[in-house]
Structure 1
Amino acid sequence: MIGLPTSAPIDLCTQAVDFRKGFDGLTGIITTSMNQRVADGSLFLFVNRRQDRIKALWWETGGRTLWYQRP
């Protein structure tokens, strides 16, 4: 179970993302393309080109957490 605060903002990256990217690559997209800070408490969602997979990146105390969902 994901323990996100109920007030956590959710930001969706609307452009397709290369899913070979990990923590550092997705953090780069957040800071450059989305003009956000990873550690601001938001949940960041990314989709692949076919829009059949999703990755979620969230900062929690102690570091970043990455979730990946695929059918």
Structure 2
Amino acid sequence: MFRLADDLGVYLHREPIDFRAGINSLAILVEQSMGLNPFDRAVFAFCNRRRTRMKLLFFDRSGFVMVLKALTEDKFR
């Protein structure tokens, strides 16, 4: 488990994404689609079309981190 800082921004990419996308593709989406800097102190959230999976992307001191959460019985709202 990890803890997010109080001053950390959280941004949701509202359109569903292709979940084959990796760190580089998500960083490009942050820049081009969201108009944000992927190196900022922020977490960027992405969902699949069925809203059963979520990917989080953030940059820490040593590089990008991508977290995947898959729900088995429910959906993200």
2 CA distance for matches of 1:16 and 1:2?
25
What is the TM-score normalised by the length of structure 2?
0.88
SS at match of 1:38: coil
1:13-50 deviation digits (Å, cap 9, x = unpaired) = 00000000000010110000000001111100000011
2 CA distance for matches of 1:48 and 1:24?
17
2 CA distance for matches of 1:2 and 1:44?
15
Number of residue pairs matched by the alignment: 71
Of structures 1 and 2, the larger Rg is shown by 2
- Gaps of at least 5 residues in structure 2 are 72-77
- Gaps of at least 5 residues in structure 1 are none
1:69 aligns with 2:69: yes
Percent same amino acid among aligned pairs?
28
The within-5 A match list for 1:1-71 is 1-71=1-71
Please provide the CA RMSD for this pair: 0.8
What is the TM-score normalised by the length of structure 1?
0.95
